[in-house]
């Protein structure tokens, strides 16, 4: 460790994509950073809040070296010892499917001070940005946020439980498991439940696919929807003022896309 350097790591949630959806506390902490280690899903405009810091990309980019979680952990620790005030900037909220707590455990095992600044998770912000309320009186009393891909690369078993409930179901990292998800919901007679898929939500490249459990796979193919995307399944999807006309028409005509 260099003399006069006091290592500290602040884990900041960058929000879902729109750079204005970082918290004020997060932006202030970035301004004090000496080094920022950032992920692929974060909006690069946020790095402007830390103009004097060293910026280190540790995400996955096509055709480039992808950092393993162990390599990222080591790099965070060595950066904190070298630069002092290190910021780890992660998409959405760092503690929602973000491995943020694993990083904190590793950093603290070196006796380094840590701080966590929560971010707005895509699980809530992306549906909200297209007007979908995850709860609504008389329609949905709760919501589940589930990963489509567990650490064993399998669909979470919780999808079976959620499909039997009346809750709104929000699935992250679920695009590669969409067929499985659809067949589970069909098994529980949820064929007509409104379903939305929002890719790159809150950003300029946002794409939306609308349908029901029965039609959503066709919509995905037609609109070429892909990750990163959020799948929202539930009656609340048609409560969106922005999307409701689609569901009004669906009764008179068979639409497969917005």
Ligand X SMILES: C[S@@+](CC[C@H](N)C(=O)[O-])C[C@H]1O[C@@H](n2cnc3c(N)ncnc32)[C@H](O)[C@@H]1O
Angle at 142 between CA 170 and CA 248, to 5 degrees: 70
**Does 103 sit near ligand X (CB under 6 A)?**
no
β-partners of residue 9 are 86, 114
**Does 116 sit near ligand X (CB under 6 A)?**
no
Q: What is the 3-state secondary structure (H, E, C) of 39-93?
A: CCCCCHHHHHHCCCCEEEECCCCCCCCCCCHHHHHHHHHHHHHHHCEEEEEECEC
Question: Is the Cβ of residue 172 or residue 250 nearer to ligand X in the bound state?
Answer: 172
Catalytic residue among 173, 175, 223, 238: 173
Q: Which contiguous run of DSSP H or E holds residue 247?
A: helix 244-249
Min CB(113)–ligand X separation in Å:
23
**Does 202 sit near ligand X (CB under 6 A)?**
yes
**Does 234 sit near ligand X (CB under 6 A)?**
no
In the residue annotation, 6 being an active-site residue is answered as no
**Does 200 sit near ligand X (CB under 6 A)?**
yes
Of the candidate spans 61-69, 179-187, 192-200, 236-244, the one that interacts with ligand X by CB under 6 A turns out to be: 192-200
Question: Is the Cβ of residue 13 or residue 194 nearer to ligand X in the bound state?
Answer: 13
Q: Which contiguous run of DSSP H or E holds residue 199?
A: strand 194-199
In the residue annotation, 64 being an active-site residue is answered as no
Binding site for ligand X (CB under 6 A): 16-17, 41, 91-93, 96-98, 121-123, 126, 172-173, 198-203, 227-230
């Amino acid at each position: 460790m260099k003399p006069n350097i006091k290592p500290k790591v602040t884990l900041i949630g960058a929000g879902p994509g729109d750079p204005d959806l970082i918290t004020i506390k997060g932006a202030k902490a970035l301004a004090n950073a000496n080094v920022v280690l950032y992920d692929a899903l974060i909006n690069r405009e946020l790095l402007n809040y830390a103009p004097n810091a060293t910026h280190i990309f540790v995400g996955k980019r096509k055709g480039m070296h992808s950092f393993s979680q162990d390599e990222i952990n080591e790099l965070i620790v060595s950066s904190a010892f070298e630069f002092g005030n290190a910021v780890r900037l992660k998409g959405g909220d760092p503690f929602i499917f973000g491995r943020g707590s694993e990083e904190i455990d590793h950093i603290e095992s070196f006796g380094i001070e840590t701080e966590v600044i929560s971010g707005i998770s895509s699980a809530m912000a992306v549906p909200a940005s297209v007007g979908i309320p995850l709860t609504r009186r008389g329609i949905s009393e709760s919501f589940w946020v589930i990963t489509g891909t567990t650490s064993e690369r399998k669909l979470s078993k919780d999808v079976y439980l959620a499909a039997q409930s009346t809750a709104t179901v929000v699935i992250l990292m679920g695009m590669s498991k969409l067929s499985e998800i659809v067949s589970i919901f069909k098994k529980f007679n949820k064929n007509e439940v409104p379903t939305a898929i929002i890719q790159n939500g809150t950003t300029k490249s946002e794409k939306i696919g609308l349908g029901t459990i029965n039609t959503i796979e066709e919509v995905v193919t037609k609109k070429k929807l892909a990750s990163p995307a959020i799948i929202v399944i539930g009656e609340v999807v048609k409560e969106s003022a922005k999307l409701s006309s689609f569901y009004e028409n669906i009764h008179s005509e068979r639409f497969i896309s917005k």
